[in-house]
Amino acid sequence: MTSPSETAVDCAFCTWREQQSRTRVYEDADTFAEIDPRQPHQGHVLVMPVRHVENVFALNAATSAAVMQATVKVADAVRHAFAPDGLSLWQSNGPGAGQEVLHFHMHVMPRWTGDGLLRVYPRRVETPEIDVRVAMAEQVRRHLT
């Protein structure tokens, strides 16, 4: 179990972690994975750190590595269990991205061709000229630490 310093009292996922769950598909010392209560397709799983971390910006290197390793294991199991045409992984941060629970989590979603889920670009997206993209790259590089 986690210590009080690693658990947020009002976090639904921290509460979920502390419960004996019949929908838990994976757990190790740093992560756990649960069947998402919402199932647009069978096999939709959430992978989360045990330690309360609100979003990607609060992850440390060890926790991010542990979550990604667990995500790969769960994704492979979902692929074998449900034989989808593909698989989407996604993660949202903040209200603009639609984050609903303030505890970092990865979605593992089995996908089938033409299922209409998770359209990344709802309309045609233009490709900016190279000079515009170079300026964007320079702006991002200035903020890398």
Write the pLDDT tens digit of every residue in 61-77: 999 999 999 999 999 99
pTM for the predicted model, two decimal places: 0.81
Residue in 44, 80, 105, 107 annotated catalytic: 105
19 SS3 class: coil
* pLDDT higher than threshold 60 for residue 133: yes
What pLDDT is attached to residue 121? 66
Please give the Cα distance from 86 to 81 (Å, whole number): 13
What pLDDT is attached to residue 4? 40
Structural domain tally of the chain? 1
- Domain carrying residue 43: 4-142
CATH number of the domain bearing residue 114: 3.30.428.10
User: 30-51, pLDDT tens digit by residue?
Assistant: 999 998 887 778 898 999 999 9
* Residue 108 CB contacts under 8 Å (≥ 6 apart), including other chains: 33, 43, 44, 45, 46, 47, 71, 74, 75, 78, 87, 89
* pLDDT higher than threshold 60 for residue 1: no
52 is annotated as an active-site residue: no
